[in-house]
Amino acid sequence: MSRIPEQTISRIIETADIVEVISSRIELKKRGLNFWALCPFHDEKTPSFSVSPSKQIYSCFGGCGAKGGVVNFLMQYDKIQFVEAIEKLANMYNIEIKLDEKSFQSRNIKSQLLEIYKITSNYYRNQIKKEINLEYFNYLLKRKINQEMIELYEIGCSNKDSEELLNLLRKNKFSAEAMKKSGLFINGKNGYFETFNSRVIFPIKNPAGDVIAFAGRVLDDNPKTRKFINSYDSPIYYKSKNLYGLDIAKNYINKEKNVFLVEGQWDVVRMHQSGFKNVVSIGGTSLTDLQATIIKQYTSNIFVLLDGDSAGKKAAIRSGYTLLKNSIDCKIICPPNNFDPDDWLLTETGKKELTEKIKNARSTIHFHFDNIDKSENNAINNFIEESINHIVEIKDPIFRELIAKSLSNIIDVKQENILQSIENKLKPRPSFITKDKKEKIISSKGSINLIEDDLIRLCLSNEFDARKIIFKYMNKDWLISVIHQIIFDEIYVHLNSDYEIPLDLIINKTEDDSVRNKIIELYEDDSKFSPCKEMAIDCLIRFEKRVLKKDIQILRNKIKDARSDEINSIISQISNIEKNINELNLKYKNE
């Protein structure tokens, strides 16, 4: 597969001047070391959009918090994908792009995985056209999925012949590591067999249209077989930041200025077939913060449309509060009669009913209030407490106040009282912990953020000895934050080199706003940080100690339910782990 070579991308990004490119789109004025403008990504009257020529990044210090490099700006401002932005910059700076065909063995794991999934997706798509697999095609027709949708969403199938796909991929000489990380095969007693064996297959794509994962559904509802399975997270796929169908829906979202969020792949296909083409799936029952951040790049007008049963309503409320936290007040639509959107739109009146419900969709807090059992004791008090706890999580103070006003109108309580309650929860609580204990006890969330921020700062620094120690000893699984895991994945390969981290390239290639913002936040914060080898060792010890202490806690919990003959073994394991903790300093002594 022909792609723009990494060297060419690096050259284009290094050549492009962020001030020159951004000033070709908006008016910039120099003030001090940086250039300033009204932010092009949100309405404002006072310039809060800063462009740094020395760091080649932009940051909005106003309402939206947009951050990035020259490629990110073009992607967001011109509403284009990464490759298009690179091509625009190449044209602007007269750099010729020569597409080349590299051997798969020499290409990085991500590139190989993209090619593996492309070949596999085409294989699955062709399989469903074969007469031997007619049962899969008939299953789709039975579910009233038409031929146009099958082709548009490239729905395919996997039969029982695992050898055929395995041999097809082996011909392309992918590395063993790439094949393993693809997750497409399981090593069983009788050899390798396909993970998605005997299923209808939905390819999962990124917004650019690359296949990055799969979802598979069995034809029957055998209770002994998992009905639906999905690809595990990989170097190119994080379920928590993927929205199924966005590659197709993005143009319709831009056209309609809104989007429907549904639960699964069937719902997406049915919605599109019924004429609601601005639809994406959250791939489960809980919308994540990363997914909310991604969809916010396209629109803030969101309809949450999950299942109509009790579990679906609760999931819709949870998703609504996740969006509120990200300053989006969505509207929630609930299908009647416990239907899911797929079943609902198959009814004779489903499409008409949905069109009507769109007009009367309820905001998150309204929908939550509508669905509490008001006959229960303290139901309303519990609702108020829960709503306020979620409102407190909203970072934008103006939006937070607007939602507080909405709550006060619903429950008929003065807005001042709601705001006072919120203010009380926002205030840090006084500490009654003694000084000695205070040094040992740190809030879990704060501790995680501090240590993981410190690690990434060390990785981004030019303290090469510190970076090499992290490269040698750090285990990515020690990181708890998904954002920090993604960043560490991106920079890990550079830690063992004697060159600066190509930060401008990493920033510009990072699609996710929250990940990119965190990189830039830590990069801009370098004046408050003095990296050294000793700091890296201390950081690693803190990480390892945290993991080992968690292992001890798990073992201690096991003692409660253990048989008497198992207790001595568990105590011995705890003793060994405690010994390892005490010897951590010796582990790094010779570094």
Last residue of some domain: 92, 115, 140? 92
Q: Is the pLDDT of residue 591 over 80?
A: no
Q: Is residue 434 part of a domain?
A: no
Instruction: Identify whether 480 is part of a domain.
Output: yes
Q: Are residues 263 and 219 in the same domain?
A: no
| 302 shares a domain with 163 | no
- Output the six-digit token pair for 386: 């829960």
| Joined tokens for residue 441 | 């006890």
**Looking at the structure, do residues 394 and 511 belong to the same domain, yes or no?**
no
Between the CA of residue 50 and those of 38, 53, 57, 245, 406, what are the distances in Å? 9, 10, 8, 34, 34
pLDDT (0 to 100) of residue 189? 67
Whichever domain contains 158, its CATH number is: 3.90.980.10
Residues 199 and 178 placed together within one structural domain of the fold = yes
Q: Please name every residue paired with 58 in a beta bridge, in sequence order, or none if there are none.
A: 51, 68
Residue 131 lies in a domain: yes
User: Is residue 410 assigned to a domain?
Assistant: yes
| Mean confidence (pLDDT) of the chain | 87
Per-residue pLDDT band at 97 (split at 50, 70, 90): confident
Same-domain status, 554 and 461: yes
pLDDT of residue 3: 67
| One domain for residues 452 and 574 | yes
Q: What is the CATH number of the domain that holds 82?
A: 3.90.580.10
413 and 448 co-located in one domain: no
Least confident of 159-168, 306-315, 445-454: 445-454
Q: Are 166 and 123 in contact (CB under 8 A)?
A: no
Kindly state whether residue 172 falls inside one of the protein's structural domains.
Answer: yes
User: Per the domain annotation, does 435 fall within a domain?
Assistant: no
- The Cα 461–Cα 475 span in angstroms is 19
**Position 433 in a domain:** no
227 vs 317, which has greater pLDDT? 317
pLDDT in the model for residue 435: 41
- pLDDT, tens digit, 9 for 90 and up, residues 358-415: 999 999 999 999 999 888 888 899 999 999 999 999 988 889 999 999 999 999 888 8
The parent domain of residue 389 ranges over: 383-426
Q: What is the mean pLDDT of residues 187-202?
A: 84
* 483-542: pLDDT as tens digits: 898 899 888 888 888 888 888 888 988 877 788 888 888 887 655 567 788 888 989 999
Structural domains of the chain, count: 5
Highest mean pLDDT, choosing among 231-245, 335-349, 453-467 = 335-349
159/214 same-domain check: yes
Q: What are the tens digits of pLDDT across the range 211-225?
A: 999 999 999 877 777
Do 119 and 154 sit in the same domain of this protein? yes
Three-state SS letters, 564-585: HHHHHHHHHHHHHHHHHHHCHH
What pLDDT was estimated at residue 352?
Answer: 96
Final residue in a domain of this structure, among 334, 349, 370: 370
pLDDT grade for 122, boundaries at 50, 70 and 90: very high
What pLDDT does 445 receive?
Answer: 42
- Dihedral pair phi/psi, residue 237, rounded to 5°: -140, 120
CATH number at residue 305: 3.40.1360.10
Contact 44, 66 (CB under 8 A): no
The pLDDT value given to residue 448 = 53
pLDDT of the residue at 440: 36
| Between 99 and 158, residue with greater pLDDT | 158
> Which of 39, 71, 92 is at the close of a domain?
92
Instruction: Give yes or no: residues 327 and 416 share one domain.
Output: no
Q: What is the rounded distance in angstroms from the CA atom of residue 447 to the CA atom of residue 451?
A: 6
Give the pairing type, strands 67-68 and 156-158: unpaired
Choice among 139-153, 321-335, 487-501 with the minimum mean pLDDT: 487-501
User: Do both 305 and 403 map to the same domain?
Assistant: no
- Inform me whether the pLDDT recorded for 30 exceeds 90: yes
The reply to whether 449 and 544 lie within a common domain is yes
Q: Does any domain span residue 308?
A: yes
